[in-house]
Chain A
């Protein structure tokens, strides 16, 4: 399933323990699985003129293959910045980030584009489908950039759309689809390259509760099928769908909110 190379086995998980000073028990199966994400002391400082704003102030975190992790935090907590770094859309100011064993902390923009294309599938709050293309053309877009041939692209796009339950809507344009359907097209687009990681940024933020449940159900299915999912949200109910929940506040991973979630449940 995953193309993970697992090149970072030497690192111990749960570095956050030391930084937050909070004790939480190690998780995961007895046999250490391959790691998809390995963040170590990552900081991100934005500079606007002479003012420097630290959006991340030393984040360490590991996510294993097949995990379903939610990162929850209020606006301004640094969760968007963390999502950008996890998605290789931005690079950390300091610290290292290994994605499927590959150090991507200081890659060039072009190399990062290739990494994004091969390893990451994005699901955005705004769906971000191209209005001029049909559903299947939207889904095949990442395969086009991967250099996959035309007929194979179409075949795989159709299969991905069938998987999200939109086999009958492949020739529709985004404007002809409901919000929930559009987000499912986006999920199909994230799936189509068989990425190591599916990164969902507030995937239910623009959906009504029925469609939101629909999309979360779909994510759960993907998790059952062994996909690695990272969900970024501010909504604790949405986060509760994940197997593991990490809180973020003021640029730090603050807590393992599993116990809080148990209360919610």
Chain B
């Protein structure tokens, strides 16, 4: 009996129990689709983080006030303490003290309500200096960015992100218009370039929805408060990625000196590199992918056990058929083959439909959840192989049970 005949017989066996075969296939289908989607989701997230690394630049350091390390138990206030000042930023910008630092941009930020005419919009208002544009790697598409004169003169000027501009001035040219920031009228002098949609990541806020104002204006006229010289962070751009470590040491040394701190562990600031932030984010993504992939793999295993279960039921139920086939001359090997073919057909059908569902899901799901899903062809092919392997391996035991049934016992049973 040829393989083709065996395949035909096996297919017939699958077809003659449509509902049962369908449900078994469903188990594999869900498992494979889940694996493809979770792995695709993980890969998509990592690719996104990877593109953020390149867009942010790998040569950036961020100095935040306070310390995130709590080795002594109490110290904290990371990002909230007001220990960094504009004077620190000015010192860091000095080429003599810190030759590896190319540009320094102190920033303060706060969420404020903007109004322009009848439009309202809440967004993040960032006070900074002209070097913000270079350290962030951005450009201005309309008008100009804030300049040193604006900073010195505490000018009431603002540069809008493209989303912000669209929300406040939907039709008219925003440059030259007036926007009220926290009740302070500011003149819009420029609009930033559109960075694109890395909107949903936790690492950064939407780069297209923010307002940049001179840091002095922000401190004096918008945010107010007691410590008007303090900044919420200082962004440092090293001369190159290679000079990052040197820039880090220079900044650390300088700030410790300026703050009169002798032991490094008592530092009232924290320096992080964008790369380290993103690698942390990547590792979180990877952990999530492994976790979800593990759950999906378990569902695939359950699907495989489903195949085995159904094949065992099938062997028991078709014991007379097996007996008859043996009486008519089917060798144990042929019976084993027939049941193995049935199990692999179930596995492979489930795998193929699961891969299809996974691909369809990868096309339509990003529109719903907003996360990109990357489908890699080798991973899909692997999933199909795994489905086939599951069908075969979970079919081996039922098939050999069928093969070793004594024909008389099989014929005798009711």
Contact = CB atoms under 8 A, between A and B. Distances in A.
B239 interface: no
B85 to A, nearest CB: 85
Interface string A95-131: 0000000000000011001101110001010101010
B16 interface: yes
A87 B406 CA distance: 13
Contacts of B323: 128
A133 B9 CA distance: 10
A84 interface: yes
B329 A142 contact: yes
A132 interface: yes
B320 A128 contact: yes
Given A128-B324, A132-B16, A144-B5, A113 B329 contact: yes
B334 to A, nearest CB: 7
B12 A116 contact: no
Contacts of A114: 329, 331
A147 interface: yes
Nearest to A122: B327
Contacts of B325: 141, 145
A110 B2 contact: no
A128 B320 CA distance: 8
A147 B2 contact: yes
A87 B325 CA distance: 14
A90 interface: yes
Contacts of A118: 329
A146 interface: yes
Contact of B332 (A84, A113, A128): A113
A89 B406 CA distance: 8
A90 B323 CA distance: 12
Contact of B408 (A84, A133, A145): A84
A49 B161 CA distance: 87
Given A89-B411, A110-B331, A142-B329, A132 B12 contact: yes
Contacts of A132: 12, 15-16
A145 B334 contact: yes
Contacts of B2: 147
A144 B407 contact: no
Nearest to B330: A145
Nearest to A146: B329
Interface in B30-53: none
B408 to A, nearest CB: 5
Nearest to A126: B320
Interface string B1-22: 1100100010010011000000
A87 B327 contact: yes
Nearest to B327: A122
B102 interface: no
Contact of A110 (B12, B333, B406, B408): B333
Contacts of B333: 110
Contacts of B324: 124, 128, 130
Contact of A116 (B320, B327, B406): B327
B368 interface: no
* Residue in A89, A113, A117, A126 with the greatest tally of chain B CB atoms within 10 Å: A113
A126 B414 CA distance: 10
Interface string B283-323: 00000000000000000000000000000000000001101
A109 B407 CA distance: 10
Contacts of A122: 327-328
Interface string A143-181: 011110000000000000000000000000000000000
B1 A113 contact: no
Contact of A89 (B1, B9, B327): B327
A124 B411 contact: yes
Given A89-B407, A128-B411, A132-B16, A145 B329 contact: yes
Contacts of A110: 331-333
10 contacts: A87-B327, A90-B406, A113-B329, A114-B329, A118-B329, A124-B411, A128-B411, A133-B12, A144-B5, A147-B1
Given A113-B332, A116-B328, A128-B411, 18 more contacts: A87-B327, A90-B406, A90-B407, A90-B408, A113-B330, A124-B411, A126-B320, A128-B323, A130-B321, A132-B15, A133-B12, A141-B325, A142-B329, A145-B328, A145-B331, A146-B329, A147-B1, A189-B328
Interface of A: 84, 87, 89-90, 109-110, 113-114, 116-118, 122, 124, 126, 128, 130, 132-133, 141-142, 144-147, 189
